[in-house]
Amino acid sequence: MARIADHFDPNATIVLYEGNCLTLLGTIPEETVQLVVTSPPYNIGKEYEEKSSLSAYYQSQKRVIEECYRVLKPEGSICWQVGNYVDNGEILPLDIFLYPIFQELNLQLRNRIIWHYGHGLHATKRFSGRYETILWFTKTDDYYFNVDPIRVPQKYPEKKYFKGEKRGELSCNPLGKNPTDVWDIPNVKADHIEKTIHPAQFPVELIERLVLSMTKEGDWVLDPFCGSGTTQIASMIHQRKAIGAEIEKKYVEIARSRIMAAEKGELRIRPMERPIYDPSAKTPSIHPKIVHTGKSNKTVPLSPIDLNRQFKNNSVIETSLRFAKSIR
Ligand SMILES: C[S@@+](CC[C@H](N)C(=O)[O-])C[C@H]1O[C@@H](n2cnc3c(N)ncnc32)[C@H](O)[C@@H]1O
């Protein structure tokens, strides 16, 4: 069983701190964490934040980001997920606003990931907003990144070279393709299986992609504004350790109960491999997954190859499977 500590403890596997993240951050030794991933308050007056002046907001984000930088390992990454600050109908994209803080720290921007989703407010005086961004920074050039665990199915998995030395061999990577920097992942709205009372919850699969590609098993992942504990869930189901701070007691309770449910194998999440719902699709959608943190009986996600097989089920995929095994 994971040991859930309420303060930073190097021997714990999960840290869930109730209080201001700056207090928790001050107790974490420098260069401890492999990945910082968070969605901070946007200063738009949600129930968990007090709207302040933009300069006060900027300064408070700066203090937290500087501390995240201090605790980050040299090969580590910071993923800051934000949307827009809105004032009287005028929008300010927060990634643009906050970028100078990261730049001053000499962090290197690797991707500006567009997280596109289908549901949200219907605007009347501008186009309805349907994306937010994740700024992915690394601390140095010597950073850890492995795209293999998060490859997605190829569009034409059976495509082969038609001439030359490789004639007849598969021309695309049988493990799947790079998911690119535009991610289509449903946001957690009322009928989403992961929905809690938190008004701004991450979908687990969004964080799984970052955890799987930017960390190794046993690494620490940190979310200074952890809300309902999504970052801890995405980390623990892949055998990473996670630290989170949350200032609101009711969200800490939710995070704790989700972590416990994952421990017991009772937490339902939307699987990473599940395609966006398409009412006209002839193939059935993949069912929700029940996750478990125990190594021996964890639910193993379908690989992109299994997924291709499920959807295409032809002998070419069998060939690609054999090929994938041979290169492992
Ligand atoms: C955008 S939400 C994050 C939601 C989270 N990603 C999830 O999946 O549930 C931001 C969270 O930060 C919390 N928060 C705000 N200021 C904080 C602070 N100084 N320290 C810790 N948590 C804080 C809020 O209560 C809120 O739950």
CA 93 to chain centre: 20
pLDDT of residue 208: 97
H helix or E strand, kind and range, residue 149: none
Whose C-alpha lies nearest to ligand 1, atom 12? 225
The confidence score (pLDDT) of residue 170 equals 85
Domain ranges of the chain: 4-144+181-297
Looking at ligand 1, which atom is closest to the CA of residue 228? 9
Find out whether the beta carbon of 41 lies less than 6 Å from any atom of ligand 1.
yes
pLDDT in tens, 187-197: 998 888 999 99
CA of 28 to the centre of ligand 1 (A): 19
State which amino acid sits at residue 82: V
Q: For 293, phi and psi rounded to 5 degrees? A: -95, -15
- Kindly state the average pLDDT of the residues 83-92: 93
pLDDT at site 9:
96
Mean pLDDT of the chain: 87
Q: What is the C-alpha separation between 150 and 167, in angstroms, rounded?
A: 28
Please, which residues have CB within 8 angstroms of residue 212's CB and are 6 or more apart in sequence?
Answer: 146, 149, 150, 238
Does domain 4-144+181-297 sit in CATH 3.40.50.150?
yes
234 C-beta neighbours (distance < 10 Å), count: 29
Q: How far apart (Å, rounded) are the C-alpha atoms in residues 13 and 242?
A: 6
Q: Which atom of ligand 1 is nearest the CA belonging to 48?
A: 25
4-29 mean pLDDT: 97
Q: Are strands 267-269 and 289-291 parallel, antiparallel or unpaired?
A: antiparallel
Helices (H), 46-91: 54-71
Distance of CA 304 to the CA centre of its chain: 18
Q: Give the contacts of 193 (CB within 8 A, at least 6 positions apart).
A: 268, 269, 270, 288
Q: What would the pLDDT profile of 253-300 be if each residue is shown by its tens digit?
A: 999 999 999 999 899 899 887 777 767 776 666 777 888 776 543 444
Backbone angles phi, psi at 184, to 5 degrees: -100, 100
pLDDT tens, residue by residue, 195-247: 999 999 999 999 999 999 999 999 999 999 999 999 999 999 999 999 999 99
When comparing pLDDT for 164 and 3, which is higher? 164
pLDDT digits 0-9 by tens, 153-175: 888 888 888 899 989 888 888 88
Confidence of residue 317 (pLDDT cuts 50, 70, 90): very low
Helix residue spans in the chain (DSSP H): 21-25, 54-71, 94-104, 204-214, 230-236, 249-263, 304-312, 315-327
Q: Which DSSP helix (H) or strand (E) runs through 12?
A: none
* CA neighbor of 79 nearest in space, from 179, 218, 208, 240: 208
Higher-scoring residue by pLDDT: 110, 303: 110
| pLDDT tier at 117, thresholds 50, 70, 90 | very high
User: 281 alpha carbon to ligand 1 midpoint, in Å?
Assistant: 37
Higher-pLDDT residue of 325 and 34 is 34
